[in-house]
Amino acid sequence: MTIAALVAQARERLIAGGVPPDEAPGDAEVLARHALGWDLTQYATGRRDTPPADFLAQYESLIARRLTREPVSQIVGHREFWGLDFEVTRDVLTPRPETELVVQAALDASPRDRPLVIVDVGTGSGCIAIALAAELPRARLIASDVSAAALAVARRNAARHGVSQRIAFLHSRLLNPETDVDLIVSNPPYIPAGDAASLAPEVREHEPHVALFGGTDGLDAYRALFTTNQSSFCAGTDGRLIVEVGYDQAARVRAIAEQRSWTFVRGYRDLQEVERVLVFKAKNR
């Protein structure tokens, strides 16, 4: 039997086991490539071949893990974000495509003609901070997180991409308001605590709750961010704060920001035309 035939069988088993049909085909292929140690090109040219002798046992083990609804990113240990490869463990959220909008918004707000100090609040895997460090070679960054375990993952990712010397990792829930910065970015926990039961098992049972749940209404982190960071910006800067929000939270987050003397600048929409990233500036700027 060819590799492609085995992957097709695995896809059907995943669907029968409850993995969403839109995820199962990609999951079956990614796990096959992981077992083979192949990249996309190798898989495309070799998928019609008979697999190596040790492939089936390894592949069966990986598929069995996926059938428990363990995320593929944690099974293979990494996920691509902004064209970079990031280590992923149970201690951090899997980087998601919509979070790339935070990076894009930060780049749009960042002048390239001078050094910048950028803070990433709730850095997790470090994906936002590291992507910005890679794009802005003159920038220095502070990456904070309440989880020491998450910061350990972020440090390893920064070392992997050669930006460790420009990122300071801070074990803290929020930025110290006395820190002088040019830009603050954050993908905070924003899921309401009562929504836990409705989440996919991959999220509810395998990702860190401290990075997922933002209190009763999911908005606690935004209240804190917009309350504590008004005085954090360097003199002469525009004082931008950029946040990711849940799919139905944009209007409520804008209202929280307005109540705390922030001005809405612009929003960024995902591929489903949902406003997922919001840019604000301090009103005293």
Confidence of residue 239 (pLDDT cuts 50, 70, 90): confident
**Residue 235 clears pLDDT 80, i.e. is over it:** no
Lowest mean pLDDT among 13-22, 60-69, 185-194, 236-245: 236-245
Report the distance separating Cα 104 and Cα 117, nearest Å: 17
For 154, what's the count of Cα atoms within 13 Å in the CB-facing half-sphere?
A: 34
pLDDT at 145 over 60: yes
Residue 28's pLDDT is what? 98
pLDDT greater than 60 at residue 177: no
Q: Phi and psi at residue 278, in whole multiples of 5°?
A: -120, 140
Q: What is the pLDDT of residues 67-120, one digit of tens each?
A: 999 999 999 999 999 999 999 999 999 999 999 999 999 999 998 878 999 999
